[in-house]
Amino acid sequence: MQLSRRTFLTGFTAAAAVPGLFADPQPRLDPNLTVLLSDIHVNGLDGGDKYPRGKLARVINDILAMAPLPAHAILFGDIAWLHGRREDYLASAPEFKRLSDAGIKITWGMGNHDRRSTFLEVHPDCAQATKIPGRLVTVTEAGPIDFIMLDGLQGTDDRGLTDMGPGNGKLCKDQQDWLLAELPKWKKPVFVCSHFPVGELSVGNQKLARFLHACPAVAGYLHGHDHRWYKNLPIESWSSPHVLRTLCLPSTGYWGDIGYVTLRVAGDRAVAALHEYEYYFPKPKEELKQLREEDEQLWKAICDENRLATCTFHLPRP
């Protein structure tokens, strides 16, 4: 039977009027799912460590295979290899573009190996999002939760090309003042994020952990820098049952725990889940001249222990 153009169009119109008939069976992007990536360390120049680029591609491939996709990707800094070179940012940009092309919104954080001005030359749109001029401090709304990305990078933008700058983090005065004014009155559960462990940072005349304890909307503190999956519960007061949970993220491919983390919100909690591919230090086996069998076995044991590890955060009701 041949359908006339008119019969076909009439049938199409009738089918389109049936609710849900042509609807996507599941949404393409899940607002309750976020991926957390840290310590990317892609090297854009010949002669350096090339393997982090391939390891990053593996992470991106696996994220893009998710169904539905995470609505957000939060990057916790050390995007560059060691010195914040333009070539490094140019080398990793196509991989991250694959995420944004898929509709995944990227939040960028700065690590001690980054160089803010060079990063912004390659990713100029990020400059508009910052809350603090001269730093990269952003607020990301991700469904029922928010993320605040702090910028603890101390290294000045005019340092020499081979100068890695200070390894520790520090929040500038403007950033501290903004946090002190805004965070105590935050209305949604919020994860405070930075490249650096919470113990390195202060606000006003107090440690950052003590301040976060006192802010009712804070669900937890997330960071990178140490290239390992580990949880911590910094104690700030023996008289309070309130617990601040912190989580350190793996590297996507340089050294240490290698992988990425998903953060899924369901009801009154958010669960971080580790997806670990491998563990190595200081480099993968194929990059080392020799490797003792017992070291390789320990690497495997560390990875096996971490596989499917989770960390649960309860979402406060500020």
88 lies in the binding site for Fe ion (CB under 5 A): no
Instruction: Round to whole Å and give the CA distance between 45 and 85.
Output: 9
Task: Please say which residue, 70 or 250, places its beta carbon nearer to Fe ion.
Answer: 250
* CB 158 to Fe ion: min, Å: 22
Site string for Fe ion, 268-297 (x = CB under 5 A): ------------------------------
- For residues 42 and 99, which CB has a smaller minimum distance to Fe ion in the complex? 42
Q: How far is the CB of 55 from Fe ion (least distance, A)?
A: 13
Closer to Fe ion at the Cβ: 42 or 265? 42
Q: 39 or 151, CB closer to Fe ion?
A: 39
Query: How near is the Cβ of 38 to Fe ion at its closest, in Å?
Result: 8
User: What's the one-letter identity of residue 208?
Assistant: L
102's CB contacts (< 8 A; 6+ apart) are: 64, 69
In whole angstroms, how close is the CB of 77 to Fe ion at the nearest point? 8
3-state per-residue secondary structure call for the chain: CCCCHHHHHHHHHHHHCCCCCCCCCCCCEEEEEEEEECCCCECCCCCCCCHHHHHHHHHHHHHHCCCCEEEEEEECCCCECCCCCHHHHHHHHHHHHHHHHCCCEEECCCCCCCCHHHHHHHCCCHHHHCCCCCCCCEEEEECCEEEEECCCCCCCCCCCCCCCCCCCCCCCHHHHHHHHHHHHHCCCCEEEEECCCHHHCEECCEEHHHHHHCCCCEEEEEECCCCCCEEECCCCCCCCCCCCCEEECCECCCCEEEEEEEEEEECCEEEEEEEEEEEECCCCHHHCCCCCHHHHHHHHHHHHHHCCCEEEEECCCC
**Could you tell me the smallest distance in angstroms from the CB atom of residue 43 to Fe ion?**
13
- Compare residues 107 and 112 and give the one whose CB is closer to Fe ion: 112
User: Shortest gap between Cβ of 277 and Fe ion (angstroms)?
Assistant: 17
- Is residue 30 near Fe ion by the rule CB under 5 A? no
Our CB check for Fe ion shows the closer of 186 and 254 to be 254
Q: Which CB, 41 or 72, lies closer to Fe ion?
A: 41
Which range binds Fe ion by CB under 5 A, 31-39, 43-51, 146-154, 197-205?
Answer: 31-39
CB of 41 to Fe ion, least distance (A): 6
Residue numbers 90-109 binding Fe ion by CB under 5 A: none
Considering only 34, 35, 36, 39, the residue that binds Fe ion (CB under 5 A) is 39
Which tokens go with 50?
């090339």
Sign of CA dihedral 213, 132, 111, 127: positive
Task: Pick from 30, 49, 78, 151 the residue near Fe ion by CB under 5 A.
Answer: 78
Name which of 136 and 219 has its Cβ closer to Fe ion: 136
Sequence-distant (6+) residues with CB within 8 A of 133 are 174
Which range in 63-71, 74-82, 198-206, 282-290 contacts Fe ion by CB under 5 A?
Answer: 74-82
Binding site for Fe ion (CB under 5 A): 39, 78
